[in-house]
């Protein structure tokens, strides 16, 4: 009897082990909590203007190789997610605090146990870093991801803010060979490679955006092709006039050192240069810049030449007359915004915001002197033209 009981309990135990095994085998070892795979690029919709495509660019970006907090691959992913088409990674050429920090960290592991020497333009008289390799890291990420973006090879040349200031060299072939202690000679070297120089944040650490003696000399020698009218959230109103008078391209760049996610946190798009080009190639983009087909976006404001702002507004807005009241002498127009930019219209004392992909109705009366109906004309308060002014733009009908 005892024997039989023992046999029964062994059998029962066996059954329960089998049951537990079959129950646990249904539990996966990894459970993905992701419900939906979300694509993250923010599309910035801007219609064609005067037959040109609008490409969104940032020509001033730092990485961990100079004093930024994101590496080149991260910058490429970030730019794609932010809706950009063109970027230039422009690390500082003369000083690279990221490298300095890195050398400090690895010092105990150098062969002689002594800290490795950080050599910048001041200590060594020349550059000791492969800037082309920084660009290549970004190119590798671009190829890996397959993003249809354009990467421009460049660097930032930074000297004393009061006398010289900072400049970006863009469209370079070999970044490593453009350094010269004499900044003007360095600019000439950029030109010899087929590159261009743009003047960065002209009022930074200064109380003026006026030219210094050095600026007069390099602008005078036609070594400058463009100027930042906006750097991040800083807009330099005097520079718009300079760009028009001296035939220079207007740029708006982030000069990002930290993360661009701060713009989205503000409900904003990052500061950018709108480039109007036939296609997304280095040749077409460079030609667009040299022919000054650019506008600037910063903090919801659009800055540039009046004719291009007018073109942008008319390309963005579909305007049609929907009603005519002969008795009252008014016409009603329907304005639909087909772009990702908001437009702020001033009418009398009120400003109306025409948000992206929204429609508004406006009525326009008659000219009291002539008795003719007034055309749909609006003052655009978030657009800036030369001399710190807003443009007044007549909308084209039924395009
Ligand atoms: Zn700078
Ligand atoms: Zn910078």
Nearest ligand to the C-alpha of residue 254? Answer: 2
Nearest ligand to the C-alpha of residue 161? Answer: 1
Name the CATH topology of 53-304: TIM Barrel (3.20.20)
Distance 63 CA to ligand 2 centre (A): 10
Residue that has been written with the tokens 């920084």 in this structure: 134
Are the CB atoms for 29 and 200 separated by under 8 Å?
no
Average pLDDT, integer, range 44-73: 97
What would the pLDDT profile of 270-324 be if each residue is shown by its tens digit? 999 999 999 999 999 999 999 999 999 999 999 999 999 999 999 999 999 999 9
Identify the CA nearest to 56 among candidates 65, 64, 46: 46
Separation CA 258–CA 271 (nearest Å): 14
- Which pLDDT value is given to residue 179? 92
Distance 324 CA to ligand 1 centre (A): 55
Nearest ligand to the C-alpha of residue 90? Answer: 2
Nearest ligand to the C-alpha of residue 256? Answer: 2
- Which pLDDT value is given to residue 195? 98
Separation CA 336–CA 139 (nearest Å): 39
Distance 327 CA to ligand 2 centre (A): 60
Average pLDDT, integer, range 374-396: 97
Environment of ion ligand 2 (residues, CB < 5 A): 156, 255
What would the pLDDT profile of 67-101 be if each residue is shown by its tens digit? 999 999 999 999 999 999 999 999 999 888 888 88
What would the pLDDT profile of 210-246 be if each residue is shown by its tens digit? 999 999 999 999 999 999 999 999 999 999 999 999 9
CATH 3.20.20.140 location in the chain: 53-304
Name the band, by pLDDT with cuts 50, 70 and 90, for residue 358.
Answer: very high
Distance 153 CA to ligand 2 centre (A): 15
Distance 150 CA to ligand 1 centre (A): 22
pLDDT above 90: residue 122:
no
Are the CB atoms for 303 and 9 separated by under 8 Å?
no
Distance 156 CA to ligand 1 centre (A): 7
- Which pLDDT value is given to residue 25? 85
Separation CA 56–CA 196 (nearest Å): 19
Q: Which residues contact residue 31 at a Cβ distance below 8 angstroms, ignoring those fewer than 6 apart?
A: none
What would the pLDDT profile of 171-198 be if each residue is shown by its tens digit? 999 999 999 999 999 999 999 999 999 9
Name the band, by pLDDT with cuts 50, 70 and 90, for residue 344.
Answer: very high
Higher pLDDT, 248 or 399: 248
Distance 132 CA to ligand 1 centre (A): 19
Nearest ligand to the C-alpha of residue 62? Answer: 2
| Percent of the chain with pLDDT strictly greater than 90 | 82
Q: Which of 34-43, 58-67, 103-112, 337-346 has the lowest mean pLDDT?
A: 103-112
- Which pLDDT value is given to residue 135? 98
Give this prediction's pTM: 0.91
Distance 120 CA to ligand 1 centre (A): 16
When the pLDDT of each residue in the chain is averaged and rounded to a whole number, the result is 92
Separation CA 314–CA 316 (nearest Å): 5
Nearest ligand to the C-alpha of residue 158? Answer: 1
Distance 77 CA to ligand 1 centre (A): 23
- Which pLDDT value is given to residue 278? 98
Reading the block at residue 74, the tokens are 């991260």
pLDDT above 70: residue 206:
yes
- Which pLDDT value is given to residue 3? 59
- Which pLDDT value is given to residue 95? 84
Distance 375 CA to ligand 1 centre (A): 45
The number of beta carbons lying within 10 Å of the beta carbon of residue 33 is 4
Higher pLDDT, 152 or 103: 152
Q: Which residues contact residue 304 at a Cβ distance below 8 angstroms, ignoring those fewer than 6 apart?
A: 229, 240, 250, 294, 295, 296, 384, 385
Nearest ligand to the C-alpha of residue 66? Answer: 2
Distance 178 CA to ligand 1 centre (A): 17
């Amino acid at each position: 009897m005892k024997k039989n009981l023992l046999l029964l309990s062994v059998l029962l135990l066996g059954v329960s082990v089998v049951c537990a095994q079959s129950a646990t085998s249904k539990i996966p070892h990894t459970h993905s909590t992701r419900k939906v795979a979300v694509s993250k690029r923010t599309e910035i919709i801007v219609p064609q203007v005067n037959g040109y495509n609008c490409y969104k660019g940032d020509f001033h970006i730092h990485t961990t190789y100079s004093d930024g907090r994101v590496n080149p691959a991260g910058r490429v992913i970030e730019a794609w997610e932010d809706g950009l088409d063109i970027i230039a990674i422009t690390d500082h050429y003369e000083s690279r605090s990221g490298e300095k920090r890195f050398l400090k960290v690895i010092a105990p592991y150098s062969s002689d146990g002594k800290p490795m020497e950080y050599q910048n333009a001041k200590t060594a008289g020349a550059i000791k870093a492969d800037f082309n390799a920084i660009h290549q890291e970004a190119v590798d990420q671009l190829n890996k991801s397959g993003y249809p973006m354009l990467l421009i090879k460049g660097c930032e040349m930074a000297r004393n803010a009061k006398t010289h200031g900072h400049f970006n060299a863009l469209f370079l072939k070999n970044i490593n060979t453009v350094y010269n202690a004499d900044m003007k000679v360095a600019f000439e070297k950029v030109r010899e490679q087929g590159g261009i120089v743009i003047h960065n944040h002209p009022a930074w650490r200064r109380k003026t955006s006026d030219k210094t003696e050095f600026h007069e000399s390099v602008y005078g020698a036609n070594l400058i092709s463009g100027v930042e009218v906006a750097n991040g959230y800083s807009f330099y109103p005097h520079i718009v006039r300079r760009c028009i008078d001296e035939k220079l391209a207007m740029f708006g760049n982030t000069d990002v050192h930290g993360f661009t996610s701060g713009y989205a946190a503000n409900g904003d798009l990052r500061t950018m240069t709108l480039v109007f080009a036939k296609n997304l190639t280095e040749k077409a983009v460079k030609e667009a810049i040299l022919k000054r087909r650019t506008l600037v976006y910063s903090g919801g404001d659009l800055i540039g030449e009046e004719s291009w702002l007018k073109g942008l507004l008319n390309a963005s807005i579909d305007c049609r007359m929907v009603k005519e009241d002969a008795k009252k002498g008014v016409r009603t127009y329907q304005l639909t915004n087909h772009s990702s930019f908001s437009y702020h219209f001033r009418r009398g004392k009120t400003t109306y915001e025409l948000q992206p992909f929204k429609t508004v109705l406006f009525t326009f009366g008659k000219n009291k002197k002539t008795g003719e109906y007034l055309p749909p004309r609006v003052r655009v308060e978030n657009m800036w033209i030369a001399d710190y002014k807003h443009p007044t733009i007549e909308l084209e009908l039924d395009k």
